[in-house]
Amino acid sequence: MKIHKRHVIDNILKYLYRDNIIVLNGARQVGKTYILYYLKNFLVEKGETAYYIDLEDIRKLQILEKGVDSFLKHLKEEGVYNEKQVFVLIDEIQYLENPSNFLKLVGDHYKNLRLVVSGSSSFEIRKKFKDSLVGRTVTFDIFNLSFGEFLEFKEYPYLEGLVFTQPKIEELKELFIEYTLYGGYPKVVLETDKEIKEKYLVQIVDTYIKKDIRDIGNIRDIEKFNKLLELLASQSGNLLNVSELANSAHLARPTVEHYLFIMENTYILKLLRPYSNNLRSELFKTPKIFFYDTGLLHMLWLKNLPKSIIGNVFETAIFAELVKRFSKDAVSFWRTVDKKEIDFILRVGSKFLPIEVKLNFDKARLKTIEFFLDTYKINEYKIVGLNGTPRKDYLYPWELSTLKEAL
């Protein structure tokens, strides 16, 4: 079985030998387990002792629930415990009743054990992780595949930074359309049959999203919750209107807010906050809704995978690419009281960059961008598109790596 190297792995490797517990957070089925497999193989090839534990296996869960002594006994029985250094990779750590206490005891008293753990819900982990772990963990958000990873999984020859011929550009356009239509869940990407792709996405919706979120949030009215999910999928890229959502789904406003909190912390969607420099003219309270996976969005919204990109789905795909390249906290949007709006503001350190997204470059209008540049006294901006004729400061989605140079 081929295990592809995810782009986040290079960052994880920097912390493998440091005195901290590595935590991988992300939705189910985005590939956390295969990252752990990759790390195990990497360590074994370096001559290290590495051991993988899956806590979905009730037998392994029971061993760890009994405490650290039971855990150490198990490692010794498996022949992987030594006084020098052992890497233990634990999948689905949130299944432990008290993971915080377990990790603290191991981290404080057994310096020869280095832990890498994964969890499928930052909400569940935050609930169970206590303040005692502050300073002991380093956390990585694991998302579905980026477009660059999508190309690697497809084994498509591509190197960032090259200037491509028109035939190559047309190929990349078609591949980005496929990526946007079907999303970036690894299992879906590797499948070639559209019908089976749909079946996999339905399985993710039914088994991992609706069921897991219902269980975590103790949601009783399943029908209304499902209706809310569908409404949110249809509005990806739009301003959040909680009152409207509550009315449409026949839910109380506090209930909708609670469900949104759960969905955001299980990596289904993001409430994107507006950028503001405290100018009075800026509308800085209402967030936008964005899903992380466009294939999932389509199945929730349309119940099938369409043949062409529709609505705000392209903008959603670019949002997800920006998050994967720069982090959740680096992306916001900008909107004024008189409805001037820029799709994304990318902020890295003290620098920021306005980004407008248009499926067709030729439909880009620079008036609002120029107003923003004048207001904030900056010179750089980017237009991200797919069709039409790109000009200076216009980028295709696969050229987002060049944004680092503009900041």
Q: Single out the residue in 110, 142, 174 at which a domain terminates.
A: 142
123 and 237 share one domain: no
Range of the domain at 136: 9-142
Q: How confident is the model at residue 140 (pLDDT cuts 50, 70, 90)?
A: very high
Task: Give me the pLDDT at residue 281, please.
Answer: 61
Pairing of strands 137-142, 21-26: parallel
User: In this structure, are 291 and 333 located in the same domain?
Assistant: yes
What percentage of the chain has pLDDT greater than the value 90?
Answer: 73
| Same domain (yes/no): 159, 259 | yes
Q: Tell me what pLDDT residue 282 has.
A: 62
Is pLDDT at 159 greater than 90 in this prediction? Answer: no
Residues 137 and 170 grouped into a single domain? no
Q: What is the pLDDT of residue 124?
A: 61
The residue among 120, 142, 164 that closes a domain is 142
- Is residue 103 situated within a structural domain? yes
The label of the residue with tokens 């294939």 reads 295
Same domain, 105 and 248: no
336 and 193, same structural domain? Answer: yes
Which residues are bridge partners to 271 per DSSP? 289
Which one, of 71, 120, 115, 67, lies nearest residue 89 by Cα?
A: 115
pLDDT tens readout for residues 50-98: 999 999 999 999 999 999 999 999 999 999 998 789 999 999 998 898 8
Tens digits of residue pLDDT in 338-383: 889 999 999 988 899 999 999 999 999 999 999 999 999 999 999 9
250 class by beta-carbon count within 10 Å (0-12 exposed, 13-18 middle, 19+ buried):
exposed
**To the nearest whole number, what is the mean pLDDT of the chain?**
91
Q: Looking at 122, 142, 162, which one is the last position of a domain?
A: 142
Structural domain includes residue 2: no
Residue 46 pairs in a beta bridge with none
pLDDT score for 155:
94
Residues 34 and 168 in one domain: no
CA distance linking residue 245 with residue 227, whole number of Å: 10
Residue 132 has pLDDT above 60, yes or no: no
Q: What pLDDT is attached to residue 231?
A: 96
Q: Are residues 107 and 208 in the same domain?
A: no
Measured CA to CA, the distance from residue 248 to residue 251 in angstroms comes to 8
**Confidence (pLDDT) at 198:** 95
Domain count, the chain: 2
CATH number at residue 96: 3.40.50.300
Are 317 and 347 contained in the same domain?
yes
Instruction: Return the minimum-mean-pLDDT range out of 96-110, 227-241, 285-299.
Output: 96-110
What pLDDT does residue 279 have?
62
Q: Looking at the structure, do residues 25 and 162 belong to the same domain, yes or no?
A: no
322 compared with 221, residue with greater pLDDT: 322
